[in-house]
Amino acid sequence: MANSDNRLLVQLASYNTNLQADRGLPQDLVDWLAPTLQVSSFLSRAPRAPDIVAVGFQELLPLHLGLSGLSKAVIESRNELILSQIEQHAPNKERYTLIAKVVNVGVALLVYALDEGVGRKVQDVQTQWTGCGPLYMGNKGAVGVRFRVPSEDGGIGEVFTFVCAHLTAHAQNLQKRVDDYNYIVSSLLFPPVPGSTSKSPTTIYSTSHLFFFGDLNFRLNPIPPTLYSDPSNPRNTIHDLLREDIRHNLREHDQLVIERDVKGTSFVGLREGDFTQFKCTYKYDLGEVDKYDLKRLPAWTDRIMYTTYTDSPDTPQVSTITNALYTSIPSYTTSDHKPIVAVLQLPPPSPSPSESSPPLLHLPSTYNPKPDPLANVKKYIGRTFDRIIGYIWWFLTFFGAGSAVYGIGNFLLSFGLWTWYKSRSASSIQIGSPDSQSV
């Protein structure tokens, strides 16, 4: 077995913060970030901090601000808080460097690396974004970060790609979620990988390691009543989903598992830890640790997936990446989602000083993802609509003292008063003109 100290540790975290901006996170992130830092000690002889930390958000801030592009203050605040927390809770007080951050409307991704390790080696850092909402708007979509880490012996090294996504909601929109993923693959494009002779853009699969996570919104298909203690009582039915023995039987009813592992329509080549080890991450009553909203059937909407170049397409559910931890954090109660987190140990790096290009993922022969030639046109069409709708929405919200509905009412009332005043003034002028006087 390879020396575990030679295998990079990657920590991934994701949270749908329910449009709350700075209110969406507590100031102490120990419950979310520290457990993963502690798990690393089981993988090496001494406590060890992750080499790379990637944190993704969905519904980062109120939608009208996101569409308007007014996310800078929120993402900077998140960066400062996360950086301070991962350094505070690092086992040996390690320091981290922000490799990249990217945000589109409400989807954001921040990637950090150890100062004394990967952080000093990183090259070719790139960020990208795409929208898959109506008219390619960014209310749904994905953001990505890609970079290269040269090998210790001077080789070209390996390419890392991180993608944070927010797909279409509601149980009945399964096909739209599948389409969202495939559109992200074709439109979240990066420059050619180093050493490539092609000048064409590349998809997220042109990489050595791929990490895909976020609020993917996949739900549970109808579940046989035999799995429930009392199917006639919805409250008991939902309560049963909190039980570990029930949860382990629900994997085959998970829409994402069916589409990925059975039908092969999306997330091709990606692996995942056992998500049934933790409770469904959606939908909770606000302010509650363990109480689901009875209006929705709970589901694992928030997921973390991955694959690496040493994974074989012949064994699609087996990975050479060690999944050391995959869990949710129930104590966060300001959103109807629970945050999730994972710690992954990558396989030993490829010794390739003579290679002119990095190792890339091996995909099934039946799957050949291609870039959309109109990807840039579509993304900027979406951004144009984002800004137009965002600015109008922002104006109405401002005019309504924080409520767009009141803003519309105030606008219509003001317009009506202005129209009435203009017509009244016009009538007064007409009555008082010389032509209207009697001879």
Rounded to 5 degrees, what are φ and ψ at 352?
-140, 55
Higher pLDDT, 39 or 27: 27
> Residue 427 — pLDDT band, cuts 50, 70, 90?
low
| Tens digits of residue pLDDT in 125-159 | 999 999 999 999 999 999 999 999 998 887 899 99
Tell me which of 6-10, 233-237, 327-331, 340-344 is least confident.
Answer: 233-237
The domain spans of the chain are 4-374
Structure tokens at 38: 């502690």
* Predicted confidence (pLDDT) at residue 401 exceeds the cutoff of 50: no
* Per-position DSSP letters for 312-375, written without gaps between them: -TTSTT--SSEEEEEEE-TT--SSSB--EEEEEEPPPPP--TT-SS-------TT------TTH
Range 322-333 burial, b when 16+ CB lie within 10 A, else e: ebbbbbbbbebb
> Residue 402 — pLDDT band, cuts 50, 70, 90?
low
pLDDT of residue 2: 40
* Predicted confidence (pLDDT) at residue 425 exceeds the cutoff of 90: no
pLDDT of residue 43: 61
Tell me which of 139-153, 225-239, 262-276, 356-370 is least confident.
Answer: 225-239
Please state, in angstroms and as integers, the Cα–Cα distance from residue 21 to each residue in 17, 25, 251, following that order. Answer: 8, 8, 33
Q: Is 60 helix (H, G, I), strand (E, B) or coil?
A: coil
| Tens digits of residue pLDDT in 201-238 | 999 999 999 999 999 999 999 877 777 666 666 566 67
Tell me which of 8-17, 285-294, 408-417 is least confident.
Answer: 408-417
Strands across the sheet containing 123-131: 123-131, 141-149, 158-166, 209-215, 302-308
* Predicted confidence (pLDDT) at residue 177 exceeds the cutoff of 80: yes
Long-range contacts of 347-351 (CB under 8 A, 24+ apart): 347/2, 347/7, 347/308, 347/310, 347/320, 347/321, 348/2, 348/3, 348/6, 348/7, 349/6, 349/8, 349/151, 349/152, 349/157, 349/158, 350/151, 350/155, 350/158, 350/208, 350/309, 351/151, 351/153, 351/155
Give the span between the Cα atoms of 190 and 203, in whole angstroms. Answer: 6
Q: Is 278 in contact with 328 (CB distance < 8 Å)?
A: yes
- H-only helix segments in 163-233: 174-187
> Residue 38 — pLDDT band, cuts 50, 70, 90?
low
pLDDT of residue 132: 97
- What is the helix (H) or strand (E) element at residue 383, kind and residue range? helix 375-399
- Per DSSP, 15 falls in state E
CA angle 52, 131, 297 (to 5 degrees): 80
pLDDT of residue 356: 82
Please state, as a whole number, how many other Cβ atoms lie within 10 Å of the Cβ of residue 119: 19
Domain 4-374, second-level architecture? 4-Layer Sandwich (3.60)
* Predicted confidence (pLDDT) at residue 432 exceeds the cutoff of 80: no
User: Average of pLDDT values for 86-106?
Assistant: 94
What is the pTM for the complete model shown? 0.90
Crossing angle for the helix pair 375-399 and 404-432, nearest 10 degrees?
Answer: 70
* Predicted confidence (pLDDT) at residue 30 exceeds the cutoff of 90: no
> Residue 79 — pLDDT band, cuts 50, 70, 90?
very high
Please state, in angstroms and as integers, the Cα–Cα distance from residue 167 to each residue in 160, 164, 232, following that order. Answer: 22, 10, 32
pLDDT of residue 123: 96
* Predicted confidence (pLDDT) at residue 414 exceeds the cutoff of 60: no
User: Average of pLDDT values for 106-121?
Assistant: 96
Please state, in angstroms and as integers, the Cα–Cα distance from residue 404 to each residue in 165, 302, 389, 413, 436, following that order. Answer: 27, 29, 12, 14, 45
Q: What is the mean pLDDT of the chain?
A: 87
pLDDT of residue 21: 78
Q: Is 400 in contact with 409 (CB distance < 8 Å)?
A: yes
pLDDT of residue 438: 47
pLDDT of residue 242: 72
User: Average of pLDDT values for 325-330?
Assistant: 94
